[in-house]
């Protein structure tokens, strides 16, 4: 399973495979039909507050990543992430579309990492979820 990142405003290519929009809104001036999408997951986009915060503080990439992973623990986001994982597993190529200025330092890159197995957010509550969100640190065995 290969996962690519692409600017949503770029033209579709046969090499894109399954094209998935992961932004909360369509790019300005584009209709959904123009995007040639397999599916659109607005619930996988960061919250407006988090997106605005990161726009003002781009040097805070590690903190953005932690906060975004915590947002992905939401029930709707977990369901959408599972659906995206199924799409990626059944396609030779999946292209995540975003309008972010730098796709490699955006939520789309984090989603790609999740799909490639870098780090999955916990779907349950409790200490593991709190640790993933950065609220507490897991204890080290003694």
Tens-digit pLDDT profile for residues 4-60: 999 998 989 989 999 999 999 888 777 777 788 899 999 999 999 999 999 999 999
Is 73's pLDDT higher than 90? Answer: yes
Taking the CA atoms of residue 10, residue 11, residue 17 and residue 19 in that order, the dihedral angle to the nearest 10 degrees is 60
In a domain, 138, yes or no: no
| Phi, psi for residue 22 in degrees, rounded to 5 | -120, 25
In a domain, 142, yes or no: no
In a domain, 11, yes or no: yes
In a domain, 140, yes or no: no
Q: How many domains does the chain have?
A: 1
In a domain, 81, yes or no: yes
Is the Cα torsion angle 139, 64, 17, 40 positive or negative in sign?
positive
Full-prediction pTM beyond 0.85?
no
Is 67's pLDDT higher than 80? Answer: yes
Taking the CA atoms of residue 18, residue 25, residue 73 and residue 94 in that order, the dihedral angle to the nearest 10 degrees is 10
76-130 pLDDT tens trace:
999 999 999 999 999 999 999 999 989 999 999 999 999 988 654 555 544 445 4
In terms of residue numbers, what domain contains 20? 2-133
Contacts of 16 (CB under 8 A, 6+ apart): 4, 6, 36, 93, 95
In a domain, 8, yes or no: yes
In a domain, 26, yes or no: yes
Is 142's pLDDT higher than 50? Answer: no
- Contact predicate 65/110, CB 8 Å: yes
In a domain, 139, yes or no: no
């Amino acid at each position: 399973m290969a996962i690519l990142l692409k600017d949503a405003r770029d033209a579709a290519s046969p090499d894109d495979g399954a094209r998935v929009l992961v932004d909360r809104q369509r790019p300005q001036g584009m209709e959904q039909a123009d995007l040639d999408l397999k599916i659109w997951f607005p619930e996988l986009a960061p919250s407006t507050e988090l997106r605005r915060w990161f726009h003002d503080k781009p040097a805070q990439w590690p903190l953005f990543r932690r906060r975004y992973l915590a947002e992905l623990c939401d029930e709707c986001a977990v369901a959408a992430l599972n659906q995206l994982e199924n799409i990626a597993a059944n396609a030779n190529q999946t292209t995540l579309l975003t309008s972010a200025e730098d796709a490699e330092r955006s939520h789309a890159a984090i989603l790609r990492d999740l799909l490639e197995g870098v780090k999955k957010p916990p779907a349950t509550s409790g200490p593991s979820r709190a640790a993933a969100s950065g609220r507490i640190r897991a204890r080290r065995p003694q």
